[in-house]
Amino acid sequence: MRRSNQSSPAPSRRPPVPEQRGGAGGVWLHGLHAVAAALANPARRLKRLLVTEEAEATLAARLPRADGSPSWRIAPERADRQRFGTFLPEDSVHQGAALLVEPLPNLTLDRALEHGEGPVLVLDQVTDPRNIGAILRSAAAFGASALVMQDRHAPPETGALARAASGALEVVPVVRVVNLSRALDELKKAGLWVVGLDGAAPVTLAQTQAGLGGRRVALVLGAEGDGMRRLTRENCDELSRLPIAAEMESLNVSAAAAVALYELVRGEHR
């Protein structure tokens, strides 16, 4: 197997069903960061907001109007902590706040590219929602313009994903595509240099970037453990690696994304 800069995550013990109890088309977001970011996102359609007294006060302090009243677009419903266990997974760290929302609309790739001039992340069959959430958090921190993933082989928007993203789900455009190879072709036509992250690549990501003359990068990361699929790898303009120590064979995909994005940002300021 080709050596990768990524590795498999620990098995998840989170119950798979309760996240869908919001009803048709509804998703329960939970945790103060995720809920506050969704309340502040005008593109997010809100259905219900359940909060404890303490969480309501915290959210009001984070999202005030000039007159001191909350700037929310929905009236909060007061609830005790026991009630959250009836519609969230039992191990959810909800911090006394849960928001029922409709999933964000899927953007087209060309619209997402207008979001900024930063790199674009492309995920090839990355399936763990918490890994994707962590990748979104790094994408927001390092100015990535968008996250692209194949609709068929990626998890839907869930509370676990949103909580791991810590508000970044509302900030970084997510593009779900039917055909990943076609999306890579579109990125190339838009002027981006498509770089696949591969632990066996002959050059480092820093070396690749140094030769691009400031050209915008689309960074492709493969599935946990297996790396990129053959066709995805062949559709990249170039393969690059992260220079990790020989004693450590690989990195988790979300860790690899964070390091790679930092390297790209650092390279822009050399």
**Whether residue 180 has pLDDT greater than 50:** yes
CATH number, domain 18-101 = 3.30.1330
Which pLDDT score is estimated for 235? 96
Residues paired with 120 in a beta bridge: 146, 218
Beta strands in 127-266 (DSSP E): 146-150, 174-177, 193-197, 217-222, 238-240, 251-252
Q: What percent of the chain has pLDDT over 70?
A: 87
Residue 154's pLDDT band, with cuts at 50, 70 and 90, is confident
Residue 269's pLDDT band, with cuts at 50, 70 and 90, is low
User: What's the rounded mean pLDDT across residues 153-166?
Assistant: 89
> Could you give the angle at the alpha carbon of 129 between the alpha carbons of 123 and 131, nearest 5°?
65
* Sign (positive or negative) of CA dihedral 265, 270, 188, 239: negative
Which pLDDT score is estimated for 220? 97
CATH 3.30.1330 occupies which residues in the chain?
Answer: 18-101
Question: pLDDT by residue (tens digit) across 30-53?
Answer: 999 999 999 999 999 999 999 999
- Spatial contact of 226 and 262, defined as CB atoms under 8 Å apart: no
User: What's the rounded mean pLDDT across residues 118-134?
Assistant: 94
Which pLDDT score is estimated for 249? 66
CATH number, domain 106-268 = 3.40.1280.10
**Whether residue 22 has pLDDT greater than 50:** no
CA distance 128 to 254: 10
CATH 3.40.1280.10 occupies which residues in the chain?
Answer: 106-268
Using left for φ > 0, alpha for ψ between -120 and 50, and beta otherwise, residue 234 falls in alpha
User: What's the rounded mean pLDDT across residues 197-211?
Assistant: 92
Question: pLDDT by residue (tens digit) across 214-231?
Answer: 899 999 999 877 789 999
